Structure 1
Amino acid sequence: MSTPRGAGAAPLDVGGVAARVAQVHAELMRLTRKRLDEQGIALNHSQVQALKRLRANGSMSAGELARAFDYDSGGMTRLLDRLESQGLLQRQPDPGDRRSLRIQPTAAGLALGERLAAIGEAVLAQALSPLSARERQGLLDCLERMLAALRQAP
């Protein structure tokens, strides 16, 4: 147990915080899956994240995507094969490196990426709905500081 900042503060239940973070994540994933199913979108989490990343970036190398998801090359190839077979992305030679391919969303992939982003935003809005604007900002500030601390850890 550790003590949060502030004189006389009660000890922090680290296990309780970790459990609650895991529960929030699980509920976000459950509700997102439910919304995807309701809209007939039969993609797994990794496929959804890849399309959202491609929508945001436009084009990436397979290596960049693999690093973003901590996938090995075989796992990334399988993921890309599935999305390509559904007409959601295409592989094209990288003009700057003939040994590499650029992964680009197709028009259908971009359209689906828009729908996926809207679903994710709606789920998050629902999760944040009980919080005031000030509480939302406070939560974001806390999460940013936590993320910074984790990224600085050896």
Structure 2
Amino acid sequence: MNALEDTFFQQLTYACSEIKQSFTRSIGMSQTRRQLLLLVAQKGEISHAALQRQLSLDGAMITRLVKQFEAQGMLSRRLDPRDNRYTLVSLTDSGRSIVADLSAAHGDFQAQLLDGISREEQEAMVHVLERLRTNLHHIQELKRSAQ
């Protein structure tokens, strides 16, 4: 690997890490908590089990987060009328307002990050990142087929 490749991957790693940390600090909510709220907003109503699968978190963590959000008035829970072994989660009006605020804050944050970066530069970067992901998926497929 040459110096340019090393620098490319270092800068990519640092940028991703710093962006996530900065956004988390700016809104005062962890990525996991944001993802849970956004997933509930997207689905409308979702079971604890589905949250667990889609967020790749253990059941205790999902229960803890949901209970915290419920205590803060952002989520409501109810038993699934089709199968009372499952608990369904949905946003309250307050939760919908917070998700809207998060989306607006994210849009503002992105606009600030992209300040001074032309549309052409953004398109080139999207192309590079898409190519990296395609290459990664190809590498993973090769490894799976070799096993």
Give the TM bin, normalised by the shorter chain: 0.7 to 0.9
What is the identity percentage for the equivalent residue pairs of Structure 1 and Structure 2? 24
Cα deviations across residues 16-52 of structure 1 (Å, max 9, x unaligned)?
3332222212322233234325xxxxx3331122112
**Pairs within 5 Å for 1:1-154:** 1=1, 11=2, 13-37=4-28, 43-152=29-138, 153=140, 154=144
Over the aligned positions, Cα root-mean-square deviation in angstroms equals 2.2
Structure 1: give runs of 5+ residues left out of the alignment. 2-10, 38-42
Instruction: Read off the aligned partner of 1:118 and give its amino acid letter.
Output: A
Structure 2: give runs of 5+ residues left out of the alignment. none
Q: For the Cα contact (< 8 Å) 1:58–1:105, is it kept in 2?
A: yes
Cα deviations across residues 50-102 of structure 1 (Å, max 9, x unaligned)?
11222222222222222232211111111111111111111122344432222
More helix by share: 2
State TM-score, norm by structure 1. Answer: 0.76
Kindly state the Cα deviation for residue 127 of structure 1 after the two structures are TM-superposed.
Answer: 1.4
Shift of the 18–81 alpha-carbon distance from structure 1 to 2, 3 Å rule, reads: farther
State TM-score, norm by structure 2. Answer: 0.79
Q: For the Cα contact (< 8 Å) 1:52–1:116, is it kept in 2?
A: no
* Number of corresponding residues: 140
Distance 2:12 2:54 in 1: 22
Instruction: Read off the aligned partner of 2:10 and give its amino acid letter.
Output: A
Q: For the Cα contact (< 8 Å) 1:52–1:117, is it kept in 2?
A: no
The 3-state SS of whatever aligns with 1:91 is strand
Cα deviations across residues 90-136 of structure 1 (Å, max 9, x unaligned)?
11223444322221111100100010111112112211222211221
Distance 1:70 1:35 in 2: 25
